[in-house]
């Protein structure tokens, strides 16, 4: 309405529009006066005409004018991750844009997912080729009528607690990484959503079973996995796995199994710690501590002042890398403990293994066990008192 009035007024006070134009002008002037009055009362601390009040205060232009600070500078700071201030408990909210989030996302969904899938595929292909060439490793002397106890019930319990939890953790973790490409197109969004949500709960809670299994097997088997001179011969002979006649001597665990044991323990601890950071976000500072230790040992300059968000992002990437690495190792372990070697599964199934199997793969251990049993049956004769 005002725009119309001004336009008519500008046309030169013409004819019948003149009176309406004047009326509109009067209304406009009155309106402006009312608005100015309101502004003055809202800004009561700056009385009109007071030069001191109108002088610039800390770079601000008087009169409620906005924009003396450059918006460009402001948004550049926001984009560069400069934190502001918030009065809510979540202080992370003070950072509006955190560029490492974008870097984390592109690394995780890009190279990490790609190379991890290649590694998993390569492991399966290598085992298939090995199986095609070598076939199942048989008990060279055939099964005997006798068995020997290899693992007590408590040892098998510890192993299967660790193994079953790890397998579920591996499957549900891989679903988080690849499910949307592999499972979603097959079962559809509703089923995929339900499966993934259930999988997430399984993953969260079974993490504790995995950690318990890790502690149990460490306590039970660490003494059998310390290095021994027989390991050198075993390694030099490639464990005898490429020859049907070669059976390098070994104690309870051979050098190959010791590697599996230590990889399981070390990667398991690393996965557990990074997983703990993801379960309880913003409570850990594992990476700044680790980087500090690495810097002091190797003289590197890794960043040690990491924000909690950066800690989370590193924990997530590390958790995925270590997990995929351990899954590759464990695929090989499952192969050799099941279809790859005749008689091996019994050790973790019933706990009793065939004596010929034991002599071929763990000859030094069999000698120890038989010697111990002999001692128990025929204790050395008591020495006569002098």
Q: Which stretch binds ligand HEM (CB under 6 A): 102-110, 129-137, 139-147, 259-267?
A: 259-267
User: What distance in Å separates the CA atoms of residue 198 and residue 177, rounded to the nearest whole number?
Assistant: 15
Residue 334 binds ligand HEM, judged by CB under 6 A:
yes
Contacting residue, 192, 253, 291, 365, with ligand HEM by CB under 6 A: 253
Alpha-carbon distance 238 to 246, whole Å?
9
Among 333, 354, 359, 365, binds ligand HEM (CB under 6 A): 333
Which window, 97-105, 256-264, 314-322, 376-384, contacts ligand HEM (CB under 6 A)? 256-264
Would you give the binding string for ligand HEM spanning residues 122-151, x where CB under 6 A is met? ----------------------------x-
- Judged by CB under 6 A, which stretch of 40-48, 192-200, 272-280, 338-346 contacts ligand HEM? 338-346
For the record, the structure tokens of 111 come out as 């190279």
Q: Which residue has the tokens 């549900």?
A: 172
Stretch that binds ligand HEM, among 121-129, 135-143, 179-187, 344-352 (CB under 6 A): 344-352
Residue 166 is a binding residue for ligand HEM (CB under 6 A): yes
Displacement of CA 29 from its chain's centroid (Å): 67
Q: Give the C-alpha separation, 195 to 36, whole Å.
A: 63
Q: Kindly tell me the sign of the dihedral angle through the C-alpha atoms of 75, 81, 86, 88.
A: positive
Figure out which of the listed residues 9, 104, 234, 261 binds ligand HEM, where binding follows CB under 6 A: 261
What are the percentages of helix, strand and coil residues in the chain, rounded to 5? 70, 5, 30
CA dihedral 344, 347, 350, 356 (to 10 degrees): 70
Nearer residue to ligand HEM within complex by CB, 288 or 361: 361
| DSSP per-residue codes, 67-119 | -SS-HHHHHHHHHTT-----SSS-GGGG-S--HHHHHHHHHIIIIIHHHHHHH
Minimum distance, C-beta of residue 209 to ligand HEM, in the bound complex (Å) = 11
Residue placing its CB nearer to ligand HEM in the complex, 144 or 307: 144
Q: Does residue 163 belong to the site contacting ligand HEM (CB under 6 A)?
A: yes
SS3 label, residue 253: coil
Indicate the SS3 state at residue 354. Answer: strand
Residue among 54 and 155 whose Cβ is closer to ligand HEM = 155
Q: Any idea which residue has 């002599």 for tokens? A: 359
Within a 10 A sphere around the Cβ of 147, how many other Cβ atoms? 18
Residue among 264, 270, 277, 356 that touches ligand HEM (CB under 6 A): 264
| Calpha distance 318→148 (Å, rounded) | 42
- For position 306 contacting ligand HEM by CB under 6 A, the verdict is no
Taking CB under 6 A as the rule, does residue 347 contact ligand HEM?
Answer: yes
Is residue 348 close enough to count as binding ligand HEM by CB under 6 A?
A: yes
Give the integer Cα–Cα distance in Å for 365 and 288: 44
Which three-class secondary structure state does DSSP give residue 353? strand
DSSP-based three-state secondary structure for 136: coil
Contact between 280 and 207 (Cβ < 8 Å): no
With CB under 6 A as the contact rule, the residue among 282, 286, 325, 345 that binds ligand HEM is 345
Residue 8 within binding range of ligand HEM, rule CB under 6 A: no
Q: Does 260 engage in binding with ligand HEM (CB under 6 A)?
A: yes
Residues 42-101 that bind ligand HEM (CB under 6 A): none
251 scored as a contact of ligand HEM (CB under 6 A) = no
Counting contacts by CB under 6 A, is residue 257 touching ligand HEM?
yes
Q: Which of residues 219-238 bind ligand HEM (CB under 6 A)?
A: none
Does 167 participate in binding ligand HEM (rule CB under 6 A)?
Answer: yes
User: Which residues here bind ligand HEM, judged by CB under 6 A?
Assistant: 150, 159, 162-163, 166-167, 217, 253, 257, 260-261, 264, 330, 333-334, 337-338, 344-345, 347-348
């Amino acid at each position: 309405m005002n725009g119309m009035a001004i336009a008519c007024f500008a046309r030169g006070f013409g004819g019948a529009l003149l009176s309406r134009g004047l009326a509109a002008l009067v209304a406009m002037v009155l309106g402006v006066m009312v608005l100015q009055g309101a502004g003055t009362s809202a800004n009561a601390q700056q009385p009109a005409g007071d030069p001191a009040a109108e002088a610039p205060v800390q770079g601000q232009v008087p009169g409620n004018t906005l924009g003396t600070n450059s918006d460009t500078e402001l948004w550049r700071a926001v984009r560069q991750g400069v934190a502001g201030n918030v009065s809510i408990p979540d202080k992370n909210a003070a950072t509006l844009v955190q560029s490492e989030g974008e870097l984390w996302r592109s690394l995780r969904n890009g190279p990490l997912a790609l190379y991890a899938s290649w590694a998993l595929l390569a492991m399966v292909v290598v085992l298939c080729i090995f199986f095609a060439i070598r076939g199942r490793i048989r008990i060279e002397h055939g099964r005997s009528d006798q068995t020997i106890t290899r693992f007590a019930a408590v040892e098998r319990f510890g192993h299967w607690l660790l193994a079953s939890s790890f397998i579920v953790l591996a499957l549900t973790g891989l679903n988080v990484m690849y499910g949307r490409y592999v499972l979603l197109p097959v079962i559809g969004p509703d089923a995929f959503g339900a499966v993934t949500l259930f999988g997430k709960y399984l993953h969260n809670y079974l993490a504790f079973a995995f950690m318990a299994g890790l502690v149990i097997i460490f306590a039970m088997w660490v003494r059998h996995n310390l290095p021994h001179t027989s390991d050198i011969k075993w390694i030099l002979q490639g464990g005898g796995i490429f020859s049907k006649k070669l059976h390098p001597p070994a104690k309870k665990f051979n050098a190959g199994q010791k590697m599996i044991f230590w990889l399981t323990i070390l990667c398991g601890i690393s996965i557990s710690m990074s997983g703990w950071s993801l379960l309880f976000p913003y409570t850990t500072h594992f990476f700044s501590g680790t980087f500090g230790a690495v810097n002091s040992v190797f003289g590197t300059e890794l960043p040690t002042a990491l924000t909690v968000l950066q800690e989370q992002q590193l924990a997530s990437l590390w958790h995925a890398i270590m997990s995929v690495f351990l899954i590759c190792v464990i695929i090989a372990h499952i192969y050799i403990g099941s279809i790859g070697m005749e008689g091996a599964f019994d050790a973790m199934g019933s706990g009793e293994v065939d004596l010929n199997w034991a002599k071929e793969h763990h000859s030094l251990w069999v000698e120890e066990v038989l010697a111990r049993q002999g001692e128990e049956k025929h204790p050395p004769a008591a020495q006569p008192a002098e």
